[in-house]
Chains A and B, each alone.
Chain A
């Protein structure tokens, strides 16, 4: 189900997800998911936990193969080495004993794939500084990655991904474990980074409200199916009801969105985090 709005220029989309489907052990995880992302767009991949967002991201990154459908990056099918896609995982599994500083990791974003042992040039080191500055990580650039907080690690991982100048940055649940203030900071940072560098952003989350101010498009996922378009187009009762397979209401209150199920409605567990209210 797609609800694209308007006629766009003929520029090749950065990412095209075309009819992607995946089943596992008899369960359908993703079913005919189709959407595209254009240059510089900020897209939110919204859905509750377990609905298949991470699986979809992994398919886009080429870490998993879909049963049906295709993923195209800049018009080309997915290749082994994806320079155009940057990936920011949720967190790094590292202990504080590992002698690698934030600065070192960001530098590896430039040449981590290269064989050999060439020393880094002045330009490269300046670029690392620039990236650290862009994500406000200078204060802890020389600390070990394993010692950083979740939010700090995230910024380092963003810098790592950005330094290789990708066309699209994919972030897996970056807001999940942050307090509201940090959520705001990271969203603002990502928006700034996207605008300054012309990078498109695809970010998965289970709550859309924090992203409303910056989101250009939304891909709303539930039950393996997805609806994509602008927030106005997608977050409407008719569209979401069709997606869920039963009636839901959409309320807008003080700039926030509430998706609300009918009393006694089935699959209430499928509703994303902000939808916990049942109205009598």
Chain B
């Protein structure tokens, strides 16, 4: 399972999981789940359009994910953010549909852009993924504190000269960057799961932001490694396992917290009982 083309899959998966864990921590913290879903999907439309005009789909991917990020950020400022995201998303999907209708695009390509082909990744694809991955993580590192402050007390941040809007735009662009690098590998629909489930699980388990961030990465790695292993053995799509395990991770974390809380309540009840 660890040799040949599979080695590539493991390497790429590791990079993707680290990026998803880092970026996803802030996606969940800032309540940006919808944009995190919309941007990869909008990007998909760009890839379709690019291949239509004979351009490398990755370029279309990059351009459209950036447009999606900027569009959502700008429109969301004026009106409701979720409405802006929804309409920007469907507009891009409609464009994608229009592009596809103009060509004789065949099935497997669409499938792979949506669900990914991680097991089919070639070694030449690893380097670009690594470079973009490092860029994404660096960007988050640089913005780390601003991302935290604007997530908690945007008004106060504004009074200190930090524009919450500017930080939001920068963050959406980082999401777009992370998207561009991962969509060809994990697919538009699944990078999303990795950016939501693991961070949501991690933050149930600790109160400290730094630890929660590390936990996101750890759980994302565990999720994708397990998914690849089981997919290799069963032949079922990696995406299925990623989606399911991400949700399961969250469920387990919630369950653990509930158990602990119930245990604390019982202990407190016992204590007060004995005092009385």
Binding site for B on A (CB under 8 A): 61-63, 79-83, 85, 87-89, 92, 94, 97-101, 104-105, 108, 111-117, 142-145, 157, 160-161
Residues of B within 8 A of A61 (CB): 158-159
A82 touches B159 (CB 8 A): yes
Jot down 10 A-B pairs with beta carbons below 8 A, ordered by A. Answer: A80-B161, A97-B203, A98-B152, A99-B203, A100-B209, A111-B145, A112-B148, A112-B160, A116-B142, A117-B142
B212 touches A81 (CB 8 A): no
Give the number of residue pairs across the A-B interface with Cβ within 8 Å.
Answer: 91
CB proximity of A101 to chain B, nearest CB, Å: 5
Cβ of B157 within 8 Å of any chain A Cβ, yes or no, is yes
B155 touches A145 (CB 8 A): no
B212 touches A63 (CB 8 A): no
Known contacts A115-B146, A145-B152: does B159 contact A98 (CB below 8 Å)? no
CB proximity of B124 to chain A, nearest CB, Å: 32
Known contacts A82-B160, A89-B155, A89-B156: does B149 contact A113 (CB below 8 Å)? yes
CB proximity of B262 to chain A, nearest CB, Å: 16
Cβ of B29 within 8 Å of any chain A Cβ, yes or no, is yes
Q: Quick one: which of B29, B160, B202, B206 contacts A113, CB cutoff 8 A? A: B160
Known contacts A104-B209, A108-B145, A117-B142: does B152 contact A94 (CB below 8 Å)? yes
Q: How far is the CA of A104 from the CA of B159 in the complex (A)?
A: 19
Cβ of B144 within 8 Å of any chain A Cβ, yes or no, is yes
Q: How far is the CA of A114 from the CA of B161 in the complex (A)?
A: 11
A117 touches B153 (CB 8 A): no
B159 touches A114 (CB 8 A): no
Name B138's closest neighbour in chain A (CB-CB).
Answer: A117
Name B160's closest neighbour in chain A (CB-CB).
Answer: A113
Interface digits, B198-235 against A, CB 8 Å rule (1 contact, 0 not)?
A: 00001110111101100000000000000000000000
Cβ of B141 within 8 Å of any chain A Cβ, yes or no, is yes
Q: How far is the CA of A111 from the CA of B157 in the complex (A)?
A: 11
Chain B facing A: main interface SS: helix
Q: Quick one: which of B142, B143, B149 contacts A108, CB cutoff 8 A? A: B149
A116 touches B141 (CB 8 A): yes
Q: How far is the CA of A80 from the CA of B159 in the complex (A)?
A: 8
A99 touches B209 (CB 8 A): yes
B161 touches A82 (CB 8 A): yes
Q: How far is the CA of A99 from the CA of B14 in the complex (A)?
A: 25
Q: How far is the CA of A81 from the CA of B151 in the complex (A)?
A: 19
CB proximity of B198 to chain A, nearest CB, Å: 13
Chain A facing B: main interface SS: loop
Residues of A within 8 A of B212 (CB): 99
B158 touches A98 (CB 8 A): no
Residues of B within 8 A of A112 (CB): 145-146, 148-149, 157, 160, 162
Q: How far is the CA of A100 from the CA of B147 in the complex (A)?
A: 12
Q: Quick one: which of B145, B146, B153, B202 contacts A157, CB cutoff 8 A? A: B153
A87 touches B146 (CB 8 A): no
Name B162's closest neighbour in chain A (CB-CB).
Answer: A113
CB proximity of B4 to chain A, nearest CB, Å: 37
Q: How far is the CA of A171 from the CA of B145 in the complex (A)?
A: 24
Known: A98-B29, A108-B145. 12 other contacts (CB 8 A): A61-B158, A63-B158, A79-B161, A83-B160, A99-B206, A99-B211, A108-B152, A112-B148, A113-B149, A115-B143, A117-B144, A157-B153
CB proximity of B182 to chain A, nearest CB, Å: 23
A143 touches B155 (CB 8 A): no
Known contacts A99-B208, A99-B212: does B145 contact A114 (CB below 8 Å)? yes
B161 touches A81 (CB 8 A): yes
CB proximity of B32 to chain A, nearest CB, Å: 14
B204 touches A97 (CB 8 A): yes
Q: How far is the CA of A275 from the CA of B223 in the complex (A)?
A: 63
Name B211's closest neighbour in chain A (CB-CB).
Answer: A99
Q: How far is the CA of A115 from the CA of B153 in the complex (A)?
A: 17
Pairs A-B, 8 closest by C-beta atoms: A81-B161, A112-B149, A99-B212, A61-B159, A99-B203, A117-B141, A87-B159, A80-B161
Q: How far is the CA of A267 from the CA of B155 in the complex (A)?
A: 33
CB proximity of B93 to chain A, nearest CB, Å: 30
Interface digits, B82-121 against A, CB 8 Å rule (1 contact, 0 not)?
A: 0000000000000000000000000000000000000000
Known contacts A116-B141, A143-B207: does B159 contact A62 (CB below 8 Å)? yes
Residues of B within 8 A of A157 (CB): 153, 156
Name B144's closest neighbour in chain A (CB-CB).
Answer: A117
A144 touches B204 (CB 8 A): no
A63 touches B204 (CB 8 A): no
Residues of A within 8 A of B204 (CB): 97
CB proximity of A74 to chain B, nearest CB, Å: 16
Q: How far is the CA of A81 from the CA of B162 in the complex (A)?
A: 8
Q: How far is the CA of A145 from the CA of B149 in the complex (A)?
A: 13
Residues of B within 8 A of A85 (CB): 159
Q: How far is the CA of A115 from the CA of B143 in the complex (A)?
A: 6
CB proximity of A268 to chain B, nearest CB, Å: 33
